[in-house]
Amino acid sequence: MKIGIIGCGNMGGGMVAQLAGAGMDVSCFDPDMDTRARMQTNGATVFDNVQDMVAGQLVIILSLPKAQIVEAVMVEIAARIETGAIVLDTSTSTPATSQAMAALGQKHGFDFVDGPVSGGPAAANSGTMTMLLAGQPSAIDRLRPVTDVLTAKTVMVGASGAGHAAKIANNMLCAANLVLVAEAVRMCEAAGVAPDGLLEGVNAGSGRSGVSEVNFPKWVLNGAFDSGFTMGLMRKDVGLALELAQQTGVNLDGFAGIADVWLNQSTQIDDSADFNEITRHGAET
Ligand code: NAD
> Would the CB of 239 count as within 6 Å of ligand 1?
no
Q: Is the backbone of residue 43 left (phi > 0), alpha (psi -120 to 50) or beta?
A: left
Neighbours of 163 (CB within 10 A): 30
Domains of the chain: 2-159 (3.40.50.720), 165-280 (1.10.1040.10)
- What's the gap in Å between 65 CA and the centre of ligand 1? 4
C-alpha dist (Å) from residue 112 to 108, 115, 179, 194? 11, 10, 35, 49
Cβ–ligand 1 distance for 57 under 6 Å, the answer no
Estimate to the nearest angstrom the gap between the alpha carbon of 204 and the chain centroid.
28
Distance 13 CA to ligand 1 centre (A): 9
Ligand 1 atom nearest to 8, measured from its CA: 9
Mean pLDDT of 265-281: 98
Please work out whether the CB of residue 98 comes within 6 Å of at least one atom of ligand 1: no
Ligand 1 and 91: CB distance under 6 A:
yes
Give residue 7 CA to ligand 1 midpoint distance, Å.
6
Catalytic positions, written as ranges: 167
Verify whether ligand 1 is closer than 6 Å to residue 274 (CB atom): no
Determine the 3-state secondary structure of 214 from DSSP.
helix
pTM of the shown model: 0.95
- Quick: pLDDT tens for 118-149: 999 999 999 999 999 999 999 999 999 999 99
Please choose, from the candidates 86, 283, 75, 96, the residue with its C-alpha nearest in 3D space to the C-alpha of residue 179: 283
Average pLDDT score over residue span 263-269: 97
31 in contact with ligand 1, CB cutoff 6 A: yes
Span from the CA of 9 to the centroid of ligand 1 (angstroms): 5
Dist. CA 234 → ligand 1 center (Å): 12
Q: What is the pLDDT of residues 54-113, one digit of tens each?
A: 999 999 999 999 999 999 999 999 999 999 999 999 999 999 999 999 999 999 999 999
Is residue 157 pLDDT above 80, yes or no? yes
Amino acid at 148: D
Residue 122 near ligand 1, beta carbon < 6 Å: no
What's the mean pLDDT in 36-56?
Answer: 94
* pLDDT tens digits, one per residue of 216-226: 999 999 999 99
